[in-house]
Structures are given as structure tokens and as C-alpha cells.
Structure 1
Amino acid sequence: MGILMAGLSPHPPLIIPEIGGERREGISKTINSLKELAEEVKDCQPDVLITISPHGPVFTDAISILDQEYLAGDFSEFGCSEVKLETSTDRDLIQEIRESSEINNIEVLTLSSAELEIYNYQGLLDHGVLIPLYFIQQAGLDVPLVPITMGLMEYDTLYSFGRIIQQVVDKLGLKAVIIASGDLSHRLKPGAPAGFNPRGEEFDRKIVEILDNENFSKALKIEKGLIDKAGECGLRPLIIMLGALDGLSFKTEVKSYEGTFGVGYAVVGFYPGSDI
């Protein structure tokens, strides 16, 4: 029981064949790595999949979780409405995470249909969830989902929230896999989506080195100026996931890293093994 494995997954929409077409050849390592990671997730046979996305309903002072019995999403935002994914959720786990977070003074919004209407949000799975879920479902695994969206909160708070996830999974006697969905720098090259900054490559090297060497505490101590210049979206989801592994015995495998289109895509697996 507990957290069986974890992973860092990028989420480029062009990785979907109907969207990327021939451009997918430029990120073939990422595609192959995500297929491998998805097979490993399937082999774990978890009871629940927990995703942590930087997209969806993001709040400055709270973490949010979509709280509906069934959820769906597609890629219509990227001109591809025909690729649609559906999943059930583990609402007991969602509520237990919220209640335990409240006890620890961390604000977590569980967004039911009524609350989604208040915040004027449709309640669809965002592409930060859909990309890893696409590969996992393609691998043949379909288990309940807990779709968490990061908050724009202090890194220490996010790490503490991750520890709560671990505690609740253990309390409920579940077998869980956690996927942190996030791209690294969006500023690796001239013409990149967020413009170019030479420190983007430095940020990506630092993250890959931290994960490869399993020096996870250093992720909380990266210079703020470097983070800002990198234009990333993956650090907060990663920190939550690392918090969920706190005190457990895990080792890492950096499966691939590519920055072909000016955005850093790292695929990393976290497996039971060495101390962290």
C-alpha cells in the first residue's frame, strides 16, 4: 500500500498525433519515454492515479481539486476536439485530502459543479492532466483519478501539502501513483513560446541535475530570479510530488530531456529504492 511510484511528465499538446503530426518527430525521445513511463504505471496496478497540474483552476492562496464523480476533457483548445478522455474520480480520497489539509491550515478547494459555476470554470480536465492520462490510458490502465491543480503558494506550503497526500493515501490503505505534470523553461531559444532568455537552459540543467542526483531538497532552494527568467510551469507540481515522497525510499531515472521547440520536456520516473 501507499505510493507505488511517481513521475514527472511534460504536457506538450503537439505530442498528440492528431495535433502534432510530423512535428512529433522532433520530440520522439519524449514520446518514447512517456510510453515507457505509462507502461510502468500500468504494471503497478494502482487503485488511484493522482495528477498535479499547473493549469486548470489556479488560485493564488489555495490548491484546487475537481470534485465530480466523472470528468472529461478534450483538446478543442488546440483544434482537436475529436480526442477526448473520460475518467471517474476517487471522491473519498479527495475529501480526505481537503479535510486533512484544513487541519494543517492549507487551503484546498474541492470544486463541485456548484462551486465551478461560482468561479466560472467549466470543470474540464486541462491538458496538464490530459497528456499523461492519454499515455496511461493508451497503455491500458483506467483507474479513478484525483486531479489536483497547484496553487501559487510558497514552496514550503506546497511541499507540506504533498506530505499530506502521502499520509492520506496511507490512512485509506490505497495504492497510488502520482504524476507531476509540468514543462521546464519556455524560453530556451529565440522564437520560443515565452520569448528567449539565456538562463532558461541553466534552469533546466539545474532541475535535471537535482533529480538525477536525487538531491530533492535543492528544488526548494532554487534562486527566485532564475525561476522567473526560466518561464517554467513545472516546479510547483514537482515540489508537491516531492513532498508526497518525503521520507520514503525512492530512486530516480531521468528517461529523457528535449528542448527542440524552445520548451524543456523532461520525463523522470521515481521508483522505490534509495533514501531521499
Structure 2
Amino acid sequence: MNPFVFACITPHGGEIIPELAGDKPERMKLTRDSMVKLGKKMMAANPDTIIVLTPHGTRIDGQFSISNSERMYGSFDENGSVYEMERMVDRDLALRITKAARDSGLGVGSINYATAAGPLSCLPLDWGAIVPLAFMPDIPIVVITPSREVTLADHYKFGEVVREVVQNTSKKIALIASCDWAHAHDEKGPYGYDPAAAMLDEEVVGLFRSNELEKMAQFDPEYVDAAKPDGIWQTMILAGAIPKENRSIHLYSYEVPTYFGLICAEVSYVEDR
């Protein structure tokens, strides 16, 4: 049984959003066009809730962070423009995932702010969620932020937990793994240049094409640190949620228009092969 009506891996560079492209709309056009296609696929799938895995949400050292506020609001500014977004939270699904993860022995925190419920119960919505959601239907969300202090094996296990919870709900659930890749492609960028960036991105694209996402867990930590991706952790959760034997990946695009790599891919469920 397919637990997710739609799943994808997306980047979160601000300029992907048309309103933030500034005077260089061609710079991320390839990625933007891919995001429009993914958004249309998501709309056609008609989910009730979207789970977003983002590296830039509220972080808890050593634990997975799961949104449990009434709503989330955030803004992102780029090239002199500001893009704002507000989404309601599917608190029932968030609490189900939290309980199942705890029952599985995983470290997880259910997070809220200000009041238990009502309009003041509002967490910040980060750009790792805002950018992909800008292309998706306006429906409730659950935002999950992984912890890099947690092993990649436990990220995969957390994905298995998410799959089990989704399989046992009557709601139609979609999944987004929001991932940028190596951030050290340009010496003028904030992280400088390292040849590991191009090498890692090339390997990642190859793993997408061969449907072997799990092999990212074998990357040497020093290699990862040199290339500076932020997508491995969310990808491992998605790999656990949609395992290899049930997974088909359609790579839409890869580009490096600035200092970091951008990948768009659709992840489909297939019956056991």
C-alpha cells in the first residue's frame, strides 16, 4: 500500500520563488520550472496534509523536532523583496508521529510556542519549508527538523516510523524532503570553495539515478563537512519512509547557479519488486 499520495525532494534557495528572483530571473529558472511541475503533481494528488522535512526549522540537539503549534508563520527576504507565508498545522498527525517515534525509542520533541492552542500558538516557518511550500497547495502541514547529533541510521528508522503512522491514518499525506546540496562550489560564497562540493554533488546525483539513497550514510564525515550539504539527513528520513524496494526516483533537474547545488526529484511508490 502506498503510504504517501505524493513525495518529492526539493531545494530551498530563496530565488526559486518568482517574487524573490530580483533582476536575475534566469539564474534559477531550471529549478523554478521543475518546482512548478512538482507543484502541479502535488496539486493533482490532492493531499490533506504535507509533511515537510527541513534542516532550518527549530532544532533540538539530539532529537527530532516536530511542530505542534496551531499555526506557523514566516517570511523570507531576497533581492529587496519579502515573501510571507502562514500555514495551519495538522496537530493530530504531528502528535501521532511524536508518540510513535517515542515508542520506538527515538529522541523526539513536540514543540509549541506561547499558548497551548489558539492564534497565539504560532511557531516560525523557516525558508526550508517556505520555498517548496510556495509551489504547493495551501493545506495543513507538519514540519519536522532532524538533528545532526542523531545517527543517520536513526534518521532512516524515523522515516520508517513516519511511514507506519501514515499507513494507519485515513488522511491523504504528502512528503517533501527539503534539501540543498554542497555549499562550497564558489570561493565568493559564504562557505568558500572546496573541490569536495562538485564531487559530492556528482555522487548524490548518481545515487538519485540508481535509487541508492541509503548509500549517503556511507559518506566520510570529513568529506561531508568539506562539501557542506544540508540534504543528507532529510533524504535518509525519506529513504526510510519510502524504502528502496518500493521507490522509484524521477530526477527533474540539477544545477549550481550560485554557490550551492539544487536538485528537484519526484519519488514514487511502486509495489514490491
Tell me the TM-score normalised to structure 2 length: 0.91
1:221 is displaced (CA, Å) by: 1.4
Cα deviations by residue, 1:65-124 (Å, 9 ceiling, x for unpaired) = 12112222111587544x2111111111111111111111111111112499xxxxx721
Residue identity matched to 1:142: D
Say if 1:192 and 1:77 are closer, same or farther in 2 by CA, change over 3 A. Answer: closer
Residue identity matched to 1:40: K
Can you give the 5+ residue segments of structure 1 that lack an aligned partner in the other structure? Answer: 117-121
Matched, 1:253 2:254: no
Alignment of 1:24-103 (within 5 A): 24-76=25-77, 80-81=81-82, 83-103=83-103
Task: Name which of structure 1's ranges 221-230 and 177-186 shifts more when overlaid on structure 2.
Answer: 221-230
Q: Give 2:119's aligned residue.
A: none
Q: Secondary structure at the match of 1:24?
A: coil
Residue identity matched to 1:265: L
Task: Name which of structure 1's ranges 59-68 and 261-270 shifts more when overlaid on structure 2.
Answer: 59-68
Cα deviations by residue, 1:216-236 (Å, 9 ceiling, x for unpaired) = 221221222221111111111
Q: Secondary structure at the match of 1:22?
A: coil
Q: Give 1:106's aligned residue.
A: 106
Q: Give 1:125's aligned residue.
A: 125
1:275 is displaced (CA, Å) by: 5.2
Tell me the TM-score normalised to structure 1 length: 0.90
Cα deviations by residue, 1:26-74 (Å, 9 ceiling, x for unpaired) = 1111000011011111111112100000002112200111211222211
Matched, 1:142 2:138: yes
Cα deviations by residue, 1:113-159 (Å, 9 ceiling, x for unpaired) = 2499xxxxx721000000000011xxxx2221001111111100111
For 2:223 and 2:112, how far apart are their aligned partners in 1?
A: 37
Number of residue equivalences: 266
Q: Secondary structure at the match of 1:23?
A: coil
Task: Name which of structure 1's ranges 199-208 and 216-225 shifts more when overlaid on structure 2.
Answer: 216-225
Can you give the 5+ residue segments of structure 2 that lack an aligned partner in the other structure? Answer: 117-121
Q: Give 2:147's aligned residue.
A: 151
Q: Secondary structure at the match of 1:123?
A: strand
Matched, 1:13 2:38: no
For 1:78 and 1:151, how far apart are their aligned partners in 2?
A: 30
Q: Give 1:221's aligned residue.
A: 218
For 2:154 and 2:74, how far apart are their aligned partners in 1?
A: 29
- Relative to its length, the structure with more helix (as a share) is 1
Residue identity matched to 1:89: V
Name which of 226, 231, 235 aligns with 2:228: 231
Instruction: Answer whether contact 1:7 1:267 (CA < 8 A) is retained.
Output: yes
Instruction: Answer whether contact 1:6 1:269 (CA < 8 A) is retained.
Output: yes
Q: Give 1:119's aligned residue.
A: none
Task: Name which of structure 1's ranges 70-79 and 187-196 shifts more when overlaid on structure 2.
Answer: 70-79
Q: Give 1:262's aligned residue.
A: 259
1:194 is displaced (CA, Å) by: 1.0
For 1:135 and 1:18, how far apart are their aligned partners in 2?
A: 12
Identity of aligned residues (%): 27
- Taking only aligned residues, the RMSD between alpha carbons, in angstroms, comes to 2.0
For 1:86 and 1:252, how far apart are their aligned partners in 2?
A: 30
